[in-house]
Amino acid sequence: MPMVKRIIITIVILITLAAAGAAASLYGLNYWAEQPLAYSAPLEFEVSRGETLTSAVNRLAQLSVVSIPKAALIYSKLKKQTHIQFGEYYIAPNQSWDQINRLLMSGQVIERSVTLVEGWTAAAALAAVQGHDKITKTLSGIDDPALTAILPSEHPHPEGWFFADTYSFHKGDTDLSIMRRALQKMQQAMAVLWQGKADGLPYQTPYEALVMASIVEKETGVPSERSVIAGVFTRRLQKNMRLQTDPTVIYGLGSRYQGNITRKHLREATTYNTYVIKGLPPTPIALVGQAALDAVFNPDNGKALYFVAKGDGSHYFSETLAEHNKAVREYQILKRRTDYRSTPTTQ
């Protein structure tokens, strides 16, 4: 056999073997990448902004998730799966490298949530947001200039402006961003309700309706009573009667309130004492959600002007002062209860 022919045959054989070896290696690499990795516990893994796949793989190797980091990197480069996105990921147990790789490319980061509760103050809402360790804290308090700056200039007091609801977020979102979303949701809800406002409601501005909604929320012990309580207060405003509601007094007392309202408190001339002033207090007194807003814009059309706590969270509603006084005697005096009051009072 001529020498040239032998050389050609040898080269072909070597190429064939190399190709076969490469194919076998590629098959083995693909097989490895698609098998569950040998870790059994779920993992929350964070990719930093700008982090490379190499860095992420090395950290996963240190966490005993990826057993062969070089194989993982070669596989991802061959598959062109190297562009990972920053964020916090939940890696379920026994995932394959291909699954983890695709997850880190997807941007499907962990979604968490924080709830702002109806009846809370704005300060309590901010404290709840800042109390979540995955939220970045940027605000010094409820009066932080950055927070005040996003509030409507005509009503810069923060109370009542943040819609009570559950908000989703990702690790690294700021407290300000969540409070801004709550503000925007309140503004959107108020705009819709104000546009459809019925004639005859005693509110000159959407803000006045928001103030009333906060009072209704604080007076409500049973959700089904919201519209009835709203109806009582609506009629009292229409009749130029004082609202005479304890929650406004308590809010006006601030830190001076120690659990009991005294006669002195009821006589104290503050802008929030609705036993003294007529009309609404100057600002809301609490967070509200959709239910209280709906109640204020759709109050019960009954005739009740008074209500008294029955001791179980619900109220007895009366149309006349005589009926109300009788209910007060039944629920407060005859039952020997001293830990709650009638609202509005007999004054």
pLDDT tens, position by position, 74-110 = 999 999 999 999 999 999 999 999 999 999 999 999 9
Instruction: Give the pLDDT of residue 1.
Output: 52
- Find the farthest-apart pair of alpha carbons in the chain and give their distance in angstroms, rounded: 126
Instruction: Give the pLDDT of residue 344.
Output: 59
Angle in degrees, CA 181, 185, 186, rounded to 5: 120
Is the pLDDT reported for residue 7 higher than 70? no
Mean pLDDT of the 307-329 span:
89
Span of 17-21, 33-37, 39-43 with lowest mean pLDDT? 17-21
CA distances for 4 relative to 14, 15, 16, 62, angstroms: 15, 16, 18, 53
- List, as one string, the DSSP characters of 294-314: HHHHS---S---EEEE-SSS-
The whole-model pTM stands at 0.82
C-alpha 164/C-alpha 120 separation (Å) is 8
Write down the domain spans for the chain: 3-106, 112-192, 196-333
219 or 22: which leads in pLDDT: 219
Angle in degrees, CA 155, 221, 228, rounded to 5: 75
Span of 238-247, 280-289, 337-346 with lowest mean pLDDT? 337-346
CB-CB contact of 104 with 98 (8 Å): no
125 or 12: which leads in pLDDT: 125
Q: What is the mean pLDDT of the chain?
A: 89
- Report residue 205 CA to chain centroid gap: 26
Q: What confidence category does residue 328 fall into, taking pLDDT thresholds of 50, 70 and 90?
A: confident
Angle in degrees, CA 267, 268, 272, rounded to 5: 110
- List, as one string, the DSSP characters of 108-154: ----EEEEPPTT--HHHHHHHHHTSTTSBP--SSTT-HHHHTTS-TT
Instruction: Give the pLDDT of residue 266.
Output: 83
pLDDT tens, position by position, 139-193 = 999 999 999 999 999 999 999 999 999 999 999 999 999 999 999 999 999 999 9
pLDDT tens, position by position, 106-125 = 999 999 999 999 999 999 99
Environment class of residue 315 by beta-carbon count within 10 Å: exposed (0-12), middle (13-18) or buried (19+)?
buried
Q: Which CATH code is given to the segment(s) 3-106?
A: 3.30.1490.480
